[in-house]
Amino acid sequence: MEPLSRRRVIGAAAAAGALLPVTAAAPRGKGTAKHHPFLWGVATAAHQIEGNNVNSDYWLLENVAGTGFPEPSGDACNSWERWPEDVALVRGLGLNAYRFSVEWARIEPEPGVFSNAVLDHYRRMCAACREAGISPVVTYHHFTSPRWIAARGGWENPETADRFARYCERVTHAIGDFVDWGCTINEPNAQVTSYVVANGKPFAREAQIRAEAARATGSDRFHAFFQGDSLKVRDVTLIAHRRGVEAIKGVAPHMKVGITLALQDLSAGPGGEALYRRIFDESRAPYYALADRDDFIGMQTYNRMATGPSGYLPTSPTATNDAWGRDADAEAIAGVAHEITHHCRAPILITENGVTATDDRLRMAYLDRVFPVVRRLRREGLPLLGYIHWSLLDNFEWGSGYKPRFGLYAVDRTSFRRTAKPSVALYRSLVAQARIHDRHIERNTRT
């Protein structure tokens, strides 16, 4: 189906709700009576900022002979020690939400062996956020897993779903009383998309690295999150999410729990209808159906893409490009938000959106464009719960190492000193204006 026509239909329906209040819709599900203010935040992920995540599958892949990584994560931003400074930066930005992840590889370094010290570390982090007026939005799995999970077939192995649920339960016992928002698994659909676009063979070139990692762990296979058979991984993550939600809510019924998805604003270009349909059917539809009965769906959108007969079409040279040459038009979030609304009843939390830019002026221009889009979507009555910018810090960008710059703050790779880029002041002032507006609307809605 051609996506633009769907969008037009939804646009008309949304316009009919133009007078709806702009405060966040109360999420559905248990315990929804509590009012949640619109969330304005920034996001990070454990492996990308904490440093020395030595028990994780990715650490091994970054350091194994013949690694495909240009550089290892190493000390990252040393946020394992500097997290109080990071929380202070979030507070200084005037935000009311901080999305970060807890690290399974640290929490359960061996099967069934849980570290109380690490759980306590994250508990203190969540408590410090609350103390600072910040709502922690906690991701339970952001790409990295303990090595022992990868050495047992990773997310291809159906047993991983139950292991994940057990881990979710333990984590929630430790942090649940400080946390209202939980994300189970980050972007499990991304690998399905790559798999479909590459006609089922995206990871063949990594066989050698996987074999090295298997040797290093003394196992006969090693599958990190993005290395498994994507369709099997999809089936396991669909189950793991559901079990994770049950485990989390079993301990903390007040928590709003959702899954976060990688969602480019995708459309079918000339001759690209069949590929577009396959991507939608394989990597979006199953997750939209899964999220349909959740408290929220996490939307992660950075760019716009069009499919051609055998892959993505090249980005137009006139598009607003990021440092990776992607079409980073801020309107992409409107396209995706409308798509979600059409296919899934869960309210939307924008859990990631941002731009990679060496020149910070590009980020500032992006922020200036994105805020009016968010405002418009809320005015149109789309069920938006919040906007969380990626990222607080320049950090370890997976297969691209430290070269891409997504951060509002630069981080010195030796001293770990954080330095505000000009976009910090801009984001702070845009959020401050938006929050004044939110409070005004809230007062009017209550009286």
Q: Which is closer to ligand BGC, CB of 105 or CB of 252?
A: 105
Write down the least CB distance from residue 17 to ligand BGC, Å. Answer: 30
- Least distance between ligand BGC and beta carbon 340 (Å): 16
Gap between the Cα atoms of 202 and 444, Å rounded: 53
Are 129 and 39 a contacting pair, CB within 8 Å?
no
Comparison of 88 and 323: residue with beta carbon closer to ligand BGC: 323
**Candidate list 45, 128, 197, 247; residue touching ligand BGC; CB under 6 A:** 45
| Cβ at position 44, least distance to ligand BGC in Å | 9
Between 224 and 263, how does the x/- string for binding to ligand BGC read (CB under 6 A)?
--------------------------------------x-
Classify the C-alpha dihedral 426-434-303-315 as positive or negative.
negative
Task: Sort 359 into a burial class: Cβ within 10 Å, 0-12 / 13-18 / 19+.
Answer: exposed
In DSSP terms, 40 is beta-bridged to 387
The nearer residue to ligand BGC, 150 or 183, going by C-beta atoms, is 183
Helices 360-379, 332-343: axis angle to 10 degrees equals 40
Site for ligand BGC in 119-178 (CB under 6 A): none
Question: What residues numbered 282-301 form the site for ligand BGC, per CB under 6 A?
Answer: 300
Please list, in sequence order, all residues whose beta carbon lies within 8 angstroms of the beta carbon of residue 104, skipping any fewer than 6 positions away: 140, 141, 144, 145, 146, 149, 164, 167
Output b/e per residue, 266-302; b: 16+ Cβ within 10 A.
Answer: bbbbeebeebbeebbebbbebbbebbeebbbbbbbbb
The CB-of-351 to ligand BGC minimum distance in angstroms stands at 8
Task: Choose between 164 and 225: whose C-beta lies nearer to ligand BGC.
Answer: 225
Structure tokens at 157: 């192995």
CA pair distance 121, 115, nearest whole angstrom: 10
Bridge pairing between strands 311-312 and 348-352: unpaired
Comparison of 164 and 390: residue with beta carbon closer to ligand BGC:
390
For residue 356, the minimal CB distance to ligand BGC (Å) is 7
Residue closer to ligand BGC by CB (options 83, 178) is 83
Q: What angle do CA 167, 173, 179 make, to 5 degrees?
A: 100
Strand partners, 41: 97, 388
Q: Least distance (Å) from ligand BGC to the CB of residue 253?
A: 27
**Residue 186 is a binding residue for ligand BGC (CB under 6 A):** yes
Q: Is 115 helix (H, G, I), strand (E, B) or coil?
A: coil
Closer by beta carbon to ligand BGC, 83 or else 406: 406
> Minimum distance from CB of 186 to ligand BGC (Å)?
5
Applying CB under 6 A, what is the total number of residues that bind ligand BGC?
10
Tell whether residue 402 is a contact of ligand BGC (CB under 6 A).
no
Closest to ligand BGC by CB, 174 or 370: 370
For residue 139, the minimal CB distance to ligand BGC (Å) is: 9
Site for ligand BGC (CB under 6 A): which residue of 75, 212, 235, 397? 397
Return d(Cα 146, Cα 53) in angstroms, integer. Answer: 9
Nearer of residues 123 and 141 to ligand BGC, judged by Cβ = 141
Residues numbered 260-279 forming contacts with ligand BGC, rule: CB under 6 A: 262
What's the min distance (Å) between Cβ of 298 and ligand BGC? 10
Closest approach, Cβ 391 to ligand BGC, in A, equals 7
Helices 116-131 and 79-92, axial angle in degrees (round to 10): 10
**Residue closer to ligand BGC, measured from CB, 22 or 224:** 224
SS3 content of the chain, % helix, strand, coil (to 5): 45, 15, 35
For ligand BGC, the binding residue among 167, 287, 406, 427 (CB under 6 A) is 406
> Are 277 and 14 within 8 A, CB to CB?
no
Q: How far apart are CA 353 and CA 322, in angstroms?
A: 13
Which residues touch 220 (CB under 8 Å, ≥6 apart)? 214
**Which position among 352, 380, 394, 438 is part of the footprint of ligand BGC (CB under 6 A)?**
352
Question: Following DSSP, what letter does each residue of 299-358 receive, concatenated?
Answer: EE---EEEEETTEEPPPPTTS-B-TTS-B--TTHHHHHHHHHHHH--S-EEEEE-----S
CB of 406 to ligand BGC, least distance (A): 6
- 390 counts as binding ligand BGC under rule CB under 6 A: yes
Binding site for ligand BGC (CB under 6 A): 45, 48, 186-187, 262, 300, 352, 390, 397, 406
